[in-house]
Structure 1
Amino acid sequence: MTRLIQSLSEISTNYDALFVDLWGCVHNGIQAFPEAVKALQDYRKGGGIVILVTNSPRPWKAVSEQMLSFGVPKDAYDAIATSGDSARTAMYLGAVGQKVYHIGTPEEVDVFFAPSDILDNAVEITTVPLEEADGIVCTGPRHATADVDVHRPEFLYAKQKGMKLLCANPDIVVDRGEVREWCAGAVAALYSEMGGESLYFGKPHPPIYDLARRHLAQLADIEDSKIMCIGDGIGTDVMGGISEGLDVLFITGGLAAHEFGDDPETPDPTRLKSWLAEQNLSPTAAISLLR
């Protein structure tokens, strides 16, 4: 049975570390949620460790700088594990070959394809046209609000050539302020649906949790029973945390807010229980917004 709570402090003393999602929990892609920031700051002041675990395709340093611009200070967390860092490590190990076709915005190229600062034996990666590529790297759709079906023609060619697609962000959608946008996960899902092979490195898949645990191990030796995941994505944050054997706090006022009534701050307990049963997932606790 999922317990509906009003504040993080009601259960936070049961845990020594938190794996916290960013988009939809700590910020909305434009600005920070002040109550969420304060909740994390208070938790850390009490001795807890906060590892931000995000499906952002960016390296952690870029995410940290971005969060400062949103109003999330560095004293709200201890470390950041990003899908981008996990995916970049795989890419620089040659997971999809050395010549890759990039799907994403031009702004993401300099960040994602920057020389690896993680591996000593990184292979040389070059971006090339699809016809010259060994594989595909997707950091997101080229246009966040456009139909991902635009990729079907090139995916048909790539599938026939046996190319693998490395997905730097398994999220399907995010809400940037009031606008819902497609993510790399939607593009990768289309490729898989068409019979291609997509490789995932963010939530709910194991590699990013391994990275988060590595960050945590550098700070303290904490058992899984003392770690709680927090997030608003039922198919990413909740499913991923439960699959890892970790307790999960589900943020109802994020991506699925419309499922639980008209007011995101007061989810209907009956609708929440019914909806979670339909998802066949049972997080440890739920809260409207992180606070």
Structure 2
Amino acid sequence: MIVKQVAGLQEIAGSYDTLLCDVWGVLHNGAAAFVPAVDALMRFRGTNGPVILITNAPRPGHWIKAQIKSLGVPDEAYDVIVTSGDVTRGVIGANPGVRLFHLGAERDLPFYEGLDVVFADEADADLISCTGLFDDETETPDDYRELLTRLVARGLRMVCANPDLVVERRGKMVYCAGALARLYEELGGEVVLVGKPHAPIYEAVLTEMRLLGRAKPLAVGDGIPTDVLGATRAGIDVLFITGGIHAGDFGPEDQPEAERVSARLEAEKLSAVGFLPRLAW
């Protein structure tokens, strides 16, 4: 079955009362907001219903709110933000007093504010919390193989705050926490994943939808292994944005070929109600 490129979100929006929109790669690229995408969200809110931003960012929602506002996404473009970081905080918070080995950049440390945790080195920790690489601009997961091998030998469980493998940042792909989590599993370690495509973040989203009195969601995202797979598992229709992390996989970035998009989704045993190079109304 050929998945078709839609003229814009407006073409299919009438069938849905809630939009579940990915953030990084759909709304912005880490440097600036995509203006047509912001416009699409505001138009959906004006004619169809609420917009819930659903992101694998390993940070609390209020951080993301401030970040995307600085990039040009106004508060009026959405109603609620659900982050992998918030769901992860719930998992860690269920273990008060845990001795935690933080694997990630120093800028992520405020992520733990308000949680009853004790930071520990790798020799004394009870649990690993992975928010990303120490330096995602220069490092790769293979730089962590020796460290992760030692942690696996200790039998430590890893809680991954961001299942994304890569993300587009100012036109460059950088590795995320999910890439380290995948290597940790390959080395024999146990990993807890709560963000897309896994159930906990969708359970949080569906809770928000119930509070808003809504029942017909459309997901929008640029990641096949996260957004498309997660929505499919949750029984949610999805509009696939081809110009994010998969840019160039389907032909020219601004003119993706429907046959190539369809073949890729079919190979992954996934489907979409349509696709767009970039989100627009």
Using the size of structure 1 for normalisation, the TM-score is: 0.93
1:144 paired residue number: 136
Q: For each residue in 1:84-136, what CA deviation from the matched residue of structure 2 results, as whole angstroms up to 9, or x when unmatched?
A: 000011001029x70010011111002x11105xxxxxxx2111111010010
Corresponding residue SS for 1:212 = helix
Query: What is the rounded CA distance, in whole Å, between the counterparts of 2:146 and 2:95 in structure 1?
Result: 25
1:35-74 correspondence to structure 2 within 5 Å = 35-74=36-75
Q: 1:6·1:288 contact (CA, 8 Å) conserved in 2?
A: no
1:174 paired residue number: 167
Q: 2:132·2:176 contact (CA, 8 Å) conserved in 1?
A: yes
- What's the offset of the Cα at 1:230? 0.5
Query: What is the rounded CA distance, in whole Å, between the counterparts of 2:44 and 2:259 in structure 1?
Result: 30
1:102 paired residue number: 102
Corresponding residue SS for 1:18 = strand
* AA in 2 matched with 1:88: R
- What's the offset of the Cα at 1:30? 1.1
Q: 1:172·1:185 contact (CA, 8 Å) conserved in 2?
A: yes
- What's the offset of the Cα at 1:154? 2.0
Comparing 264-273 with 80-89, greater Cα deviation is found at 264-273
1:213-224 correspondence to structure 2 within 5 Å = 213-220=206-213, 222-223=214-215
- What's the offset of the Cα at 1:259? 1.2
Corresponding residue SS for 2:239 = strand
- What's the offset of the Cα at 1:282? 1.2
Query: RMSD of the TM alignment (CA)?
Result: 1.3
Query: What is the rounded CA distance, in whole Å, between the counterparts of 1:131 and 1:197 in structure 2?
Result: 17
Corresponding residue SS for 2:123 = helix
Query: What is the rounded CA distance, in whole Å, between the counterparts of 1:35 and 1:276 in structure 2?
Result: 25
Q: For each residue in 1:54-86, what CA deviation from the matched residue of structure 2 results, as whole angstroms up to 9, or x when unmatched?
A: 000010000000001100000100000000000
2:127 paired residue number: 135
2:157 paired residue number: 164
Q: For each residue in 1:175-201, what CA deviation from the matched residue of structure 2 results, as whole angstroms up to 9, or x when unmatched?
A: 101111000000100100000001101
1:31 paired residue number: 32
Residue of 232, 245, 249 corresponding to 2:239? 249
Residue of 265, 273, 277 corresponding to 1:284? 273
- What's the offset of the Cα at 1:274? 2.0
- What's the offset of the Cα at 1:280? 2.2
1:120 paired residue number: none
Comparing 142-151 with 40-49, greater Cα deviation is found at 142-151
Query: What is the rounded CA distance, in whole Å, between the counterparts of 1:108 and 1:274 in structure 2?
Result: 38
- What's the offset of the Cα at 1:3? 2.9
1:200-211 correspondence to structure 2 within 5 Å = 200-211=193-204
Residue of 264, 267, 273 corresponding to 1:275? 264
Query: What is the rounded CA distance, in whole Å, between the counterparts of 1:280 and 1:47 in structure 2?
Result: 30
* AA in 1 matched with 2:11: E
2:7 paired residue number: 6
Corresponding residue SS for 1:157 = helix
Q: 2:4·2:258 contact (CA, 8 Å) conserved in 1?
A: no
Q: 1:56·1:168 contact (CA, 8 Å) conserved in 2?
A: yes
Using the size of structure 2 for normalisation, the TM-score is: 0.96
List gaps (5 residues or longer) in structure 1: 117-123
Corresponding residue SS for 1:26 = coil
Q: 1:136·1:164 contact (CA, 8 Å) conserved in 2?
A: yes
Comparing 28-37 with 144-153, greater Cα deviation is found at 144-153
List gaps (5 residues or longer) in structure 2: none
Corresponding residue SS for 1:280 = coil
Identity of aligned residues (%): 40
Q: 1:155·1:191 contact (CA, 8 Å) conserved in 2?
A: yes
State the number of aligned residues: 278
